[in-house]
A and B are shown apart, each in its own frame.
Chain A
């Protein structure tokens, strides 16, 4: 099968293009660094099957962060039949820089200028033939939104695959000093048998640029470049590339429309010196209000539906252990979680909207000064924000973070970001103990979760790395109108995960909990009771009932299971719980749930991403002790006040 690789800067619409070509349903975020690993899809075109590989977006072919490495290694080691470099029509410079780098590395390259519809709207006129002439590649204009140019692109790809003809070959010549050095190095490299698989000119240029990997490789053969020289050459090479790009674009682009007018006006307010932070907080509050107040009626409907279903099943099946298993175990256990589906979808809808329009990088920009204090950057802020949905993708997305230190810290603190699975517990308890103030209480928990994350980051940085700051170099993308299709993809992809969990791990847990809760005898004499009572002494200072302890233990499988356990143990938590515990204890419990052990899936992904059990174990013990300390304080203070 023929293979085509898509390469480009972050946020140029590579993933949209990939979706448009392969018909895949991959969510496309409006912030850089979404594609952290490569994605593959197949398109059948004129009787041929072509495999498309979507590589992580990068700015240069260096090899610092993991996403850069993935892309570069793929281009070096795999041999795609065609490499398609995708650039943004409104801002081609950085993309063309990457094109030059790719062209120096390999031959079968073509260029796609995406978002051509937006360029036309702004009265921008791009001359395709100038681009073809000066870069020596085939050029296709596309729009992933309108579908324009996709067929032409597929035809061009097929043309390159069948004829191996990639237009003409244009080689960018550098300054005289560089070219002389390149010639000299090329001669040495050509004589070395082991380096035959590389293009000598590429190796020579990379060596002059001081690329650590290439230098390591060449050092084995006695070739080296002093640091101070490579610093100078690196600047000269980059400068020449941009000079060339500027001169080509001067000829290729004939009319400039007005640029960035709406974006600028919006940015002026949203990232304003004084208004920026209040706007950020207001946005977050809106997200929560939307999640709770607007979506609650739907939750109530589902709740009624589930209890009606239970009643009906009971009347049909009669009494007996099977009925109890089905109704008390499965229907109530899974139902307790399903009730919160509207809230969770609501939160994703609100968060998705903010991402879609391009607010997130701005939020990162606005609060960066705070992140800097924590020795993190706005980039890790964006990973952490993902954690509000689920900690697993948050940990995965840290692959885009260049600095290994920052990456590890981000991985270790991200479980403190309270994920959507914990939301049902807050909603349940806040609804029982803090009626009328649910939004405020839950907002407070979320804010605390952010503060705890921040404090942890500072603390861990201090003890492990003596706190060096991390640089922030981030692109602010254009604002865009959210597309319903994309927004729905966002909500569905994340929400689906929650539904899948309800059908698998939560269903299984519900059955296990039912068994443990009913054998050898129901309630007080069950295994679940033994388990809860065994650990209860540890939690006595916190004021938790043994059933709450049991719920916490089961909750490590998936945090929603805490709610299922409550449902099964208490029957009707809303009427039973207020007799057992006071509001401060309930609050203490909510905080415990917020901070304690990451769920099994998160522990597994921490192990995979941070490299080994060491950090996963650390994460478990660390979060457990933090949770205990905070909840202990809340319980003690709460008791003292009441």
Chain B
């Protein structure tokens, strides 16, 4: 997945960096090298750009630049928002409060369910045979693991 898709607060590992040659050197020099771990710190008003920490430095990248960095989630569990289309996942836990949990449950989503991601924008998943559409904010609070 792309670095731009990693949720705020998560850590990811860089797989490849695909900037045009003129910028590639500077990006690599800043520490965005394959194998490096990147933390997504926060996002600016309107959601773009975002602050990342790589090799101890806080660096801002726009979505258009973060799109050029291919990453994978560092932990086995990650938010559903970072899941890939077409893959199957198992729901591990919820990050929201009781109100949030009762809401997702009412949509038929619960811990232990196996889901498949149909599309990302907007996010639609298949859960126990039903197609459910959920918001990105919600998807960020559902932790899943790939199977």
List residues of chain A with CB under 8 Å of any chain B CB: 59-60, 62, 64, 90-94, 97-98, 101, 209-212, 227, 230-231, 234-235, 238-239, 241-243, 245, 259, 267-268, 271-274, 276-277, 365-369, 372, 378, 402, 469, 471-476
Q: A473 with B59: in contact, given A235-B16, A368-B44, A369-B48 (CB under 8 Å)?
A: yes
- Quick check: A231 and B21 within 8 Å, CB to CB? yes
Interface size on B, residues (CB 8 A): 37
Measured CA separation A97–B25 after assembly (Å): 12
- Quick check: B44 and A243 within 8 Å, CB to CB? no
- Quick check: B44 and A94 within 8 Å, CB to CB? no
- Quick check: A274 and B45 within 8 Å, CB to CB? yes
Q: Which of B1-42 contact A (CB under 8 A)?
A: 16-17, 21-31, 33-36, 41-42
**Nearest CB on A from B70, distance (A):** 11
List residues of chain B with CB under 8 Å of any chain A CB: 16-17, 21-31, 33-36, 41-49, 51, 55-62, 64-65
Among B29, B43, B59, which residue has the most Cβ atoms of chain A within 10 A?
B29
Which chain A residues lie closer than 8 Å to B56 at the CB level?
Answer: 90-93, 259
Measured CA separation A241–B59 after assembly (Å): 19
- Quick check: B29 and A97 within 8 Å, CB to CB? yes
- Quick check: A212 and B21 within 8 Å, CB to CB? yes
Q: Which of B25, B42, B46, B64 contacts A271 (CB 8 A)?
A: B42
- Quick check: B49 and A368 within 8 Å, CB to CB? yes
- Quick check: A60 and B59 within 8 Å, CB to CB? no
- Quick check: A472 and B25 within 8 Å, CB to CB? no
**Nearest CB on A from B31, distance (A):** 6
**Nearest CB on A from B40, distance (A):** 14
- Quick check: B35 and A239 within 8 Å, CB to CB? yes
Which chain B residues lie closer than 8 Å to A231 at the CB level?
Answer: 21, 24
Apart from A212-B21, A378-B60, A474-B60, 12 more pairs, CB < 8 Å: A62-B26, A94-B30, A227-B21, A238-B33, A242-B35, A369-B46, A378-B49, A402-B26, A473-B23, A475-B59, A475-B60, A476-B59
Residue of A nearest to B23 (CB): A471
Measured CA separation A238–B14 after assembly (Å): 13
Which chain A residues lie closer than 8 Å to B22 at the CB level?
Answer: 64, 212, 402
Among A230, A402, A472, which residue has the most Cβ atoms of chain B within 10 A?
A472
Q: A94 with B25: in contact, given A268-B42, A368-B62, A372-B62 (CB under 8 Å)?
A: no
22 CB < 8 A contacts A-B: A60-B29, A62-B29, A64-B22, A91-B56, A93-B55, A234-B28, A235-B28, A238-B28, A241-B33, A243-B35, A245-B55, A271-B42, A273-B42, A273-B43, A366-B44, A369-B44, A369-B48, A378-B60, A471-B65, A472-B65, A473-B30, A476-B58
- Quick check: B21 and A94 within 8 Å, CB to CB? no
Which chain A residues lie closer than 8 Å to B44 at the CB level?
Answer: 271, 273, 276, 365-366, 368-369
Measured CA separation A60–B32 after assembly (Å): 13
Q: Which of B26, B42, B48, B49 contacts A60 (CB 8 A)?
A: B26
Q: Which of A59, A242, A469, A474 contacts B64 (CB 8 A)?
A: A469
Q: A242 with B62: in contact, given A60-B29, A235-B17 (CB under 8 Å)?
A: no
**Nearest CB on B from A208, distance (A):** 12
**Nearest CB on B from A336, distance (A):** 42
- Quick check: B45 and A366 within 8 Å, CB to CB? yes
Residue of A nearest to B43 (CB): A273
Measured CA separation A272–B29 after assembly (Å): 28
Which chain B residues lie closer than 8 Å to A93 at the CB level?
Answer: 31, 55-57
Measured CA separation A472–B65 after assembly (Å): 8
Q: Which of B23, B41, B55, B65 contacts A242 (CB 8 A)?
A: B55
Which chain B residues lie closer than 8 Å to A62 at the CB level?
Answer: 25-26, 29
**Nearest CB on A from B56, distance (A):** 4
Which chain B residues lie closer than 8 Å to A97 at the CB level?
Answer: 29, 31
**Nearest CB on A from B49, distance (A):** 5
Residue of B nearest to A92 (CB): B56
Residue of A nearest to B16 (CB): A235
Which chain B residues lie closer than 8 Å to A368 at the CB level?
Answer: 44, 48-49, 60, 62
- Quick check: B45 and A273 within 8 Å, CB to CB? yes
**Nearest CB on A from B65, distance (A):** 5
Measured CA separation A610–B33 after assembly (Å): 35
Q: Which of A64, A238, A474 contacts B23 (CB 8 A)?
A: A64
